[in-house]
Structure 1
Amino acid sequence: MKVLNKDELQIAEEVLLKHLPKSYKVYGFLYGINRNKPSTLEVVVDKWPDFKVIICRPDPKNKRALEFMKKVTVYSTDEEVLRKVLREEKAVDWSTYFLVGGFDIFYAPILKEVSAERDINNRGYTLVHLLYLPDISCLLMPEVDSELHSRISSLNLSHADLVNKTWKFGGNEQGHRNIENLISNFPSSCITDVQGQPVSWMLVYDYCALGILYTLPEHRGKGYAKVLVSIMAKKLHAEGYPVYCFIEEDNTVSHTLFKNMGFIEDASYRAAWFEFKF
């Protein structure tokens, strides 16, 4: 395995751009790293420059890596090379709990096979649709009146507790640190009430995907989600970010929302999150 340096990360980003949409999550991580977003990851490949497997994993030299959930992200163009890398090289640290996120479900049998050989338990965490905006001209733009427009702003750190408490995968200190990191370093948008408190919001993950879209129950049914999706998609596109998201397979409301707003998906592709532990 080879750990990529700063210049090589730039080249790898350009390579992954040619493999969208399946490479979106690793591409998103590299996009952020290459624009100096804080990261606790290192990026490794099976060989350079003609790599077939690229892995984002916690950087053992980064002390802050312990503050966040241990996550690994993989993109591969070759099944056998991926199996070889996971089996024969120290591509990932199998000795502790970790989550493999946003990988092609096609490779699930390999991950299960290799983990079984090491007597490591694995569990499917979630299965998701990958949706992306092929062009900003495809985006459906809802009308926003002046009163609502005056209540649109960005999140700040004082909102981290509220977002964390309502986030499906948050609710703890680790989640709070994650939300603070996202608010501090990535785009966000919210709609506030007359007192200036957020009632609906959307963030961008550290792999540059839209996410954590939420509206307080008493404020639903007003079209806030459509407004936030359109605002964030326009903002990301204008700043050069990829415009994509992962939607859990059972979240039909969000899936329909994004599809109706112009996002598309490769019907043959599904991404998944798996967790591994002894």
Structure 2
Amino acid sequence: MARSLSRPELRQLVDSLVLDCGNMASHSKAMLYCTALHYLDGKIPLDMTFEVDRWPDYTAVLWTQKDDEVSVLSFEKDCVNVSLYWTNEDGLRQLLTLTSVDWTRPLLFMAIPLSGLSVLKEHLELQGVPCPPEEDIYLSDTVYYLHETCPSMDKVNGTDDKMTIAPLKPEHSQLVSRTWLHGNTPEAERHIHYQISTFPSACVYDQEGNPVSWILFNYYGSQGVGYTIPDHRGKGYFQLASKYMINTCLQKGFVPFLFIEDYNEQSRAVHKKLGYSWVEAGRCAYIFLNRNKSS
């Protein structure tokens, strides 16, 4: 079996991770840092396991929930999130072989760097588990805001001065879930409610207090679930919400980053204007494994 870290060892691991605004080499490292930190702080309401290939000089880490119950971390029924960080492919191979993960149940691999796909596929073949079909692999770029200063919160040209910017409220969970590409299910709404209730968010409200544009913060540190109501698009509201979120992340010591799926050119254009950047090493994929199997 892989080495499962105790809480003191997990704290030691968190302290060993350095996030540098000037050189974000790995989004997986930021995801590990934020997930472990939030778990230690009691913001993740379930038992998790953090497994390493060896300790203390680890080269690969896998983290997932410990029990078999579907949790608020998942937005799809019966699916368990699995994440990986590695600095050495041999360490990754060893960890995948030794991990306690049940490879036969529905799993969602979270933003796995494309550099590790061949190792993962190799392992699945050894386990006799079918590789996921193309429609269960969502390719994305990782977009980083590699600055130590916040963008100006000045109004964008064309925005209404009567609009206000503030966090979302839990009662907005249904609206956010309904407008999310992967939402509009009871599991997704529960997931969104947990995010809004526990972590930062940013929303532009109209004069009546109705949400018109928003972006959330995931438990693993990325921004996501961004959306603008169609009648309010083209007015700069999403830029305002994103600036608010960048400000919040930097104040908390996090490097602002998010994932943009390949089809979403509109999101790419907005984040270029905000000063985000991306590199080939940030290419990644969300991968559903055994998606149609019951747990």
Tell me, yes or no, whether TM beats 0.5.
yes
Give yes or no for the alignment of 1:94 onto 2:103.
yes
Matched ranges for 1:1-278 at <5 A: 1-17=2-18, 20-22=24-26, 23-40=29-46, 41-60=48-67, 65=71, 68=74, 69-87=79-97, 89-123=98-132, 124-137=136-149, 139=151, 141-143=153-155, 148=161, 150-277=163-290
The one-letter amino acid of 2:101's match is V
Instruction: Return the offset for 1:204.
Output: 0.4
Instruction: Let me know the Cα RMSD of the aligned residues.
Output: 2.3
- 3-state DSSP of counterpart to 2:71: helix
CA deviations 1:58-81 (Å, max 9, x no partner) are: 112x85638833110001111122
Whole-angstrom distance in 1 between the partners of 2:265 and 2:243: 19
How far has the Cα of 1:48 moved from its partner?
A: 1.2
Identical counterparts, % of pairs: 27
Letter in 1 for 2:60: V
CA deviation after TM superposition for structure 1 residue 37, in Å: 1.4
Maintained 8 Å contact 2:223/2:256:
yes
Distance 1:236 1:269 in 2: 20
Structure 1 residue 140, shift from structure 2 partner: 5.6
Cα 1:244–1:66, aligned 2, differ >3 Å: closer, same or farther? closer
- Give the TM-score of the pair, scaled to structure 2: 0.85
Find the residue that maps to 2:281 and give its secondary structure. Answer: coil
Q: Deviations over 1:104-152 (max 9, x none)?
A: 1111011111112222223252111111122233736542699646522
Deviations 1:242-266 (A, max 9, x none): 3111111221221222122111223
Query: Which string of whole-angstrom CA distances, capped at 9 and with x for unpartnered residues, describes residues 156-181 of structure 1?
Result: 11110000000111110110110010
Deviation track 1:28-81 (CA, whole Å, cap 9, x = no partner) reads 212322333124332111111111111111112x85638833110001111122
**1:99 shift after superposition:** 0.8
Q: CA deviation at 1:209?
A: 0.9
The whole-number CA distance in structure 2 between the counterparts of 1:36 and 1:67 is: 14
Aligned length, in residue pairs: 276
Amino acid at match of 1:132: Y
Residues of 1 paired with 2:232 and 2:160: CA distance? Answer: 15
Contact 1:52-1:78 at 8 Å conserved across structures: yes
Q: Please, which runs of 5 or more residues in structure 2 have no aligned partner?
A: none
Q: Which runs of 5+ in 1 are unaligned?
A: none
For residue 217 of structure 1, report the CA deviation from its aligned partner.
0.5
Rounded Cα–Cα distance in structure 2 between residues aligned with 1:240 and 1:143: 25
> TM-score w.r.t. structure 1 length?
0.90
Q: State the distance in 2 between where 1:57 and 1:91 align.
A: 10
